[in-house]
Amino acid sequence: MTQPAEHPETGRMEHRLTQVGAALDAFLHREADDPLPRRGVWGPALGGALPPSGLGPDEVMRLLTDLVVPNGGRYCDPGFWGWITVGPTTMPVAAMAAGMVAAPQRYSLTAFNALEETALRWLADLCGLGTRMGGVLCSGGSTANLIALGAARQWALEAVGEDPSRDGLSGRPVAVYASQDVHHTVHRALGVLGLGRRSVVAIPTDGAGRMRSDLLEDALDQGRRTGVLPLAVVACAGSTDTGAVDPLRAVGSLARQAGAWFHVDGAYGLPGILDPRVAPLYDGLDLADSAIVDPHKWLGAPVGIAAAFVRDRDLLARAFMQEPADYLDLGDHDGPVQCSLDTIGVNYADWGVELSAPSRGVAVWALLSEIGREGMRRRIVADNDRARRVADAARRHPRLELMMEPTLSVVCFRYRSGRDPDGVNREIVRRLLRTTPWVASSTVIGGAFVIRPCFVNARTRDEHVDAFMEAVVEIGDVVEAEQA
Ligand SMILES: *Cc1c(COP(=O)(O)O)cnc(C)c1O
């Protein structure tokens, strides 16, 4: 067979990926830099009209490497500790790029389809879920919570003779019990599932940010008296505000007693179980009916990768099936499989809300293959250490105040202000973003505005953390003096 002449649109990858790789390396090694001051350049240059005829590959590459990449976000910077998000490490990026070409869909009997399953098994193992749970990879914690709570809805309503995914809801009142600090994607998932954001019963937390199981018990009693169906109890394994791990054994046991599904949202914090100092906090994880984890948070996978686990994937199929379609022969044919396309492979399409979906397992497999359980454990421990480093510095410094002992790698502290603590700390966070390489977000604890870095960034070193703490005090002193 003679090779056809290469059309530019299908040209060789190596040259182009090398160009992008070089631009990305330059981007990653630049000095701390924000794209906003140059918006007058890239905004108009990139905001034009659809070109009537093509610019050609060289010009597209030039724009991509000279104008787009250098004006990307600060997520990969070593001083980025905002919210719970971060830039990926290199191996999963390379793996993801490979999958985009070699297996753009996760289906059919390919190495990539197999790696979806390997990745799920390895994640379950890494995060202490053992071998009893099956799952599906999906786009993020939002989707993973939706999938897990969709399973909960199916399970709880099947038990009273209903099939909500097939027939819709009967209007039966239901309640979902969760910590007051539960992530709001849980509320949204319940909205999408037709159960309503208001079905969440918020359980207060204790001084360490953990759900109070005594108050959960009261709330479940109250619900029983009013005849509401206890659909699920949601526990945080690493809350977004404070990193708190709810008392899983107590909460899970109460869920069991009430006949409710027990869901553990570990989008951020489930890998925390690798740190032996905090591993005992995860006791009770074995009670979970479902659990989620976001490899795109603490594990450094590219954004767009989460995992939802349940005890029984058949339940997911009942909750999320599309019903058979003529356009999709899922390979339920007779006879042996003779080529990769004879079957869809492991059929993730019926276990969540996505049909077309990229091969994500390859990225998880790559990042875990690269450093193994031990390498990941070291990263998790180093990140937890950094939160304790901030806590120690805040405790020691006369003008700083630790607002809660860190559980995992989130730490909440603030500058002591005699006048307007909330206003001063809000201004500190803003100026950190604008004038330093350090990105720390904020939250509110017991009504107090606090500075809240979350360490999940593999590019961070301890000296960055020390410089950040100095910057907080320096800026705090200036802001406080301005207010006087
Ligand atoms: C981040 C987070 C989510 C949402 O995950 P996305 O990947 O951003 O959609 C859900 N729960 C917890 C605890 C989180 O930290």
User: pLDDT tens-digit profile of 169-228?
Assistant: 999 999 999 999 999 999 999 999 999 999 999 999 999 999 999 999 999 999 999 999
Residue minimizing CA distance to atom 6 of ligand 1: 141
Q: Please tell me the number of Cα atoms within 13 Å of 437 on its side-chain side.
A: 14
pLDDT at 4: 52
Q: Nearest CA to 287 among 234, 257, 313, 248?
A: 248
Instruction: Give the rounded percent of residues in the chain with a pLDDT score beyond 90.
Output: 92
Q: 């059919």: which residue's tokens?
A: 108
Nearest residue (by CA) to ligand 1, atom 4, is: 141
Probe target for ligand 1 pocket from 83, 142, 181, 305, with the most ligand atoms within 8 Å of CB:
142
Residue 243, pLDDT above cutoff 90: yes
E-strand ranges in 10-143 read 80-81, 134-138
Please work out, in degrees rounded to the nearest 5, the angle formed at the alpha carbon of residue 220 by the alpha carbons of 218 and 222: 70
Return the pLDDT at 3: 53
The model's pTM is 0.96
| pLDDT (average), residues 36-42 | 96
Pick from 365, 356, 361, 409: which is nearest to 386 by CA?
A: 409
Structure-derived torsion over alpha carbons of residues 249, 253, 256, 261, reported in degrees to the nearest 10:
-30
Judged on CB neighbours under 10 Å (0-12, 13-18, 19+), 311 is middle
* DSSP assigned state of 67: I
The residues that bridge with 261 in the sheet, in sequence order, are 232
Q: What phi and psi values does residue 448 have, to the nearest 5 degrees?
A: -100, 130
Return the ligand 1 atom nearest residue 143 CA: 9
Q: Among 83, 84, 137, name the best residue to mutate to test ligand 1's pocket (greatest count of ligand atoms within 8 A of Cβ).
A: 84
Q: By alpha-carbon position, which residue is closest to atom 12 of ligand 1?
A: 267
What number does the ligand 1 atom closest to the CA of 296 have? 7
Atom of ligand 1 nearest to the CA of 240: 15
pLDDT of 32: 81
Q: What average pLDDT does range 341-359 have in this prediction?
A: 94
Res 353 pLDDT > 90: yes
Secondary structure, 3-state, 258-327? HCCEEEEECCCCHHHHHCCCCHHHHCCHHHCCEEEECCCCCCCCCCCCEEEEECCHHHHHHHHCCCCECC
306 lines ligand 1 (CB under 6 A): yes
**CA–CA distance, 134 with 137 (Å, rounded to integer):** 10
Least confident of 29-43, 90-104, 384-398: 29-43
Give the side-chain half-sphere CA count within 13 A for 158: 13
**What would the mean pLDDT of 34-38 be, rounded to a whole number?**
95
Residue 52 has pLDDT above 90, yes or no: yes
pLDDT at 333: 60
Q: Which pLDDT does position 299 carry in this prediction?
A: 98
- Residue 297 Cα, ligand 1 centroid: separation in angstroms? 9
Give the strand pairing for 200-203 and 261-265. Answer: unpaired
What is the band of 427 on the pLDDT scale with cuts at 50, 70, 90?
very high
Identify the residue whose C-alpha is closest to ligand 1 atom 5.
141
| Atom 3 of ligand 1: nearest residue by CA position | 141
What is the average pLDDT across 310-317?
A: 95
Average pLDDT of the chain, as a whole number: 95
What pLDDT score was predicted for residue 94?
98
Report the atom number in ligand 1 closest to the C-alpha of 140.
7
